[in-house]
Amino acid sequence: MNIALRVCTAFVCCLPALAGAQDLTVTNARILDGTGKVINRGTVVVTGGKIASVSANAAPASRARTIDAGGKTVMPGFIDSHRHLVQGDGAQWLTQTAAKQMQEFLDAGFTTVASLIDPPQVLEARNRIRDGKLRGPRLYAGALIPVSGLAFAPGSDPARTDPSRGPLPPQAPAIPRDATIKAVDDAAKAGYDYLKVVMVTTTNGPELETLKLIVAEGKKRNVPTIVHAVSIRDTLAAVAAAPAVLVHTPHIGNLGDDQAALKTIIDARIPMTSTLSVFIPHFDAGNKPLFRDAQPFPWNTLSSGGQGPENARLLWENGLVSYGYGTDTQWPPKQSLADEVRALELVFSPTDVVKILTQGAAKSTLREAEIGTLEPGKLADIVIVDGDPLATTEALQHVVTTIKGGEVVFEKK
């Protein structure tokens, strides 16, 4: 281990406990509570890290810290319910990158992030944040549990070579039942918050039966199953197993041409995550279009950039139980927010986007009882933005204060 790495490791491990939840009051605020209610001039009172009241009343007399929002917009903390945090070696990420990256999320207004299919160092980061040894958003982590022996192209971003794009692949090898149960048990014992499954159906393949087993074994251990399904075909297979969340909008196949499939997905009443921007080019400072893996954009995937938003709106219009913000990307949080909102705005209004980013994403993380709206009893995850997100989503890029669990974790100087 080199000297720089030893110093960085020691720094992270020896960080003093960060300040805990505060009692505070946010006053003189334009409040969007996340349920659709707007208070043009009001006050949010926080006690012990939880919201005590949200009202149109003036701030009560208190010895607690008072934040004068100056008429700016106060809303629930942002939530990314599908993210990939680690690029490269996990141990190196934890010692050299995690602290800076976690603060970037707070600076951008994100108070909760779900990290899916990242190495186990994410669990250590989650625990350090929980214990006050590392400042960052509330983290939840998912462990990958395979449903068959289908192999993806080695060394390539699976989204580039996804077998769901072509005809039904040949039958994939089954995974022994005992091996699946052990994988679920290992994930639960390691402390993962979710079981993550990549659902790609094959000809007469074992995927559905294995997914049903994973869902059942996860329920026994109180670990919910969330499913990657990107084609209509795979989404229909996934909902048959009744997982807790679908972590992608189906973007292969047109739900407008398949009313039976649309009804089946709606009737399943499973929350869904957006991840629309993966297939819309991300542009670097030199105006070069890039894909999620920071490599040149693969134009043969561009159809998904239009089909995903179209299917999302069809699902929304027909009564999808919940639709939540998620990016499935590696870009810094402010950049991924801009990209995902750009994709969402193809078919959703600013009012819809605010709901998707807060209440919808809380449901996609399965934490809607704790976060996602500003209501008494919920965790005091709050952002103050300069502007009106209901008029223009550009305001979401102008975070001036982030409060997580009652603690001020970012203030723009």
Worst-scoring range by mean pLDDT, 53-67, 134-148, 397-411?
53-67
Structure-token match 């999320």, residue found: 105
Q: Indicate whether 352 belongs to any domain.
A: yes
Residue 127 lies in a domain: yes
Q: How far out from the chain centre does Cα 296 lie?
A: 25
Reported as a pLDDT band with limits 50, 70 and 90, residue 153 is confident
Mean pLDDT of 138-152: 94
pLDDT higher than 60, residue 19: no
Does residue 14 surpass a pLDDT of 90?
no
User: Is residue 11 very low, low, confident or very high in pLDDT (cuts 50, 70, 90)?
Assistant: very low
| Out of 15-29, 66-80, 99-113, 289-303, least confident range | 15-29
Residue 27 backbone phi and psi in degrees, to 5: -125, 170
Predicted local confidence at residue 20, as pLDDT: 54
Asked whether residue 69 is domain-assigned, the answer is no
| HEC assignment per residue over the chain | CCHHHHHHHHHHHCCCCCCCCCCEEEEEEEEECCCCCEEEEEEEEEECCEEEEEECCCCCCCCCEEEECCCCEEEECEEEEEECCCCCCHHHHHHHHHHHHHHHHHHCCEEEEEEECCCCHHHHHHHHHHCCCCCCCEEEEEEECCCCCCCCCCCCCCCCCCHHHCCCCCCCCCCCHHHHHHHHHHHHHHCCCEEEEECCCCCCCCHHHHHHHHHHHHHHCCCCEEEECCEHHHHHHHHCCCCCEECCCCCECCHHHCHHHHHHHHHHCCCEECCHHHHCCEECCCCCEECCCCCECCHHHCHHHHHHHHHHHHHHHCCCCCEECCCCCCCCHHHHHHHHHHHHCCCCCHHHHHHHHHHHHHHHCCCCCCCCCCCCCCECCEEEECCCCCCCHHHHHCEEEEEECCEEEEECC
Is residue 29 assigned to a domain? no
Does residue 212 register a pLDDT over 90? yes
Instruction: Provide the pLDDT for residue 115.
Output: 96
Which pLDDT tens digit goes with each residue over 380-400? 999 999 999 999 999 999 999
Total tally of structural domains belonging to the chain:
1
pLDDT in tens, 321-365: 999 999 999 899 999 999 999 999 999 999 999 999 999 999 999
User: Quick one: average pLDDT of 202-230?
Assistant: 98
Mean of per-residue pLDDT scores for the chain: 93
Is 43 a member of any domain?
Answer: no
pLDDT of residue 61: 66
In a domain, 176, yes or no: yes
Of 21-30, 61-70, 124-133, which gets the smallest average pLDDT? 61-70
User: Which pLDDT belongs to residue 8?
Assistant: 37
Instruction: Tell whether the model's pLDDT for residue 228 goes beyond 80.
Output: yes
For residue 307, what are the domain limits?
A: 78-371
pLDDT, average across residues 170-188: 97
Instruction: Decide if 152 is inside a domain.
Output: yes
Query: Is residue 123 situated within a structural domain?
Result: yes
pLDDT at 282 over 60: yes
Give pLDDT, residue 21: 58
408: β partners: 403
Nearest-5° angle of CA 370, CA 17, CA 398? 55
User: 12 pLDDT exceeds 50?
Assistant: no
Distance in Å from the first CA to the final CA of the chain: 37
> What does the pLDDT average to over 295-308?
96
Q: What is the CATH number of the domain that holds 261?
A: 3.20.20.140
